[in-house]
C-alpha cells in the first residue's frame, strides 16, 4: 500500500455540501404544499331523532319564532325584519330588561323556534343562525362581566360557564321545514 500523505486523505472526502441543497429542495417543497387549514364553523347540537316529529309552534310569550321563507325573507314573531335587526331583537326578547309582557318571562323560559323553507338558501339560514348565536354570546358575555368581571370565552372556568349557561340556556328548536317549491 502506498503511503498517503495528509493532503491526499483530505481529498478523499465526499463533498457533502450539496446534500444540504437537496434537503433544502425537499424542505421547500413540503413547506409550500403544506396548508395548515384551520377548521372553523358554527357549532350546533342537533335534537335527538323522534319518529313522530310534531312541530308545536306555541304562540306563547316565551317563544321567539323565526321563519325564513323561500325568498330569504324573515318573519320574526309576526314582523318582517331584516337579518341585521335580528340580533338586537332576540337579545331584547331573551333578557327582557323592561319586563315587557310580550317578551320572555325569564331567559330560562325563552325558546327560539327556527323554521325555514326547503328553498331557503344555506347562506341565509346560516346568517340567521349566526345572529341568534351572536345574541346568546353577547348575553353570556354581559352576564360574565356582571357576575365575574371577565369576558365570556371558551377557556373560562367551567363552573362559571355552567352557571351562566344555566341562567341563560340556549334553546333553538328547529321544526321541519315547510315546502313550497325547491329550485
Which residues contact another protein (rule: CB under 8 A)? 6-7, 10, 16-17, 19-20, 22-24, 26-27, 30-31, 33-34, 38-49, 116-123, 125-127, 129-130, 133-134, 137, 154, 176-177, 179, 182-183
In the complex with another protein, the residue whose CB is nearer, 41 or 97, is 41
Tell me how far, at minimum, the Cβ of 134 lies from another protein, in Å. 5
In the complex with another protein, the residue whose CB is nearer, 99 or 158, is 158
Tell me how far, at minimum, the Cβ of 114 lies from another protein, in Å. 11
How far apart (Å, rounded) are the C-alpha atoms in residues 66 and 128? 9
Tell me how far, at minimum, the Cβ of 15 lies from another protein, in Å. 9
Displacement of CA 151 from its chain's centroid (Å): 18
CA dihedral defined by 94, 53, 116, 133, rounded to 10 degrees?
30
In the complex with another protein, the residue whose CB is nearer, 38 or 102, is 38
Q: What nine digits make up the cell of 127?
A: 346568517
CB environment 56-69: b (16+ within 10 A), e (fewer): eeeeebbbbbbbbb
How far apart (Å, rounded) are the C-alpha atoms in residues 134 and 164? 15
In the complex with another protein, the residue whose CB is nearer, 30 or 99, is 30
What 8-state DSSP symbol labels residue 108?
A: G
| Nearest Cα residue to 135 out of 65, 97, 87 | 87
How far apart (Å, rounded) are the C-alpha atoms in residues 144 and 156? 10
In the complex with another protein, the residue whose CB is nearer, 125 or 148, is 125
Tell me how far, at minimum, the Cβ of 154 lies from another protein, in Å. 8
Tell me how far, at minimum, the Cβ of 113 lies from another protein, in Å. 16
Amino acid at each position: 500500500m502506498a503511503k498517503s500523505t495528509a493532503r491526499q486523505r483530505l481529498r478523499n472526502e465526499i463533498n457533502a455540501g450539496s446534500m444540504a441543497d437537496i434537503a433544502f429542495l425537499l424542505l421547500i417543497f413540503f413547506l409550500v404544499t403544506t396548508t395548515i387549514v384551520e377548521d372553523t364553523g358554527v357549532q350546533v347540537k342537533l335534537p335527538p331523532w323522534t319518529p313522530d316529529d310534531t312541530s308545536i309552534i306555541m304562540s306563547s310569550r316565551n317563544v321567539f319564532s323565526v321563519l325564513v321563507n323561500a325568498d330569504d325573507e324573515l318573519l320574526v314573531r309576526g314582523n318582517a325584519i331584516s337579518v341585521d335587526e335580528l340580533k338586537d331583537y332576540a337579545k331584547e326578547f331573551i333578557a327582557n330588561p323592561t319586563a315587557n309582557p310580550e317578551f320572555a318571562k325569564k331567559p330560562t323560559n325563552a325558546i327560539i323556534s327556527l323554521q325555514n323553507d326547503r328553498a331557503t338558501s344555506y347562506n341565509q339560514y346560516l346568517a340567521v343562525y349566526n345572529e341568534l348565536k351572536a345574541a346568546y354570546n353577547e348575553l353570556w358575555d354581559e352576564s360574565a362581566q356582571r357576575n365575574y368581571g371577565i369576558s365570556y370565552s371558551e377557556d373560562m372556568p367551567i363552573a362559571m360557564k355552567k352557571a351562566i349557561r344555566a341562567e341563560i340556556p340556549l334553546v333553538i328548536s328547529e321544526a321541519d321545514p315547510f315546502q313550497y317549491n325547491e329550485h
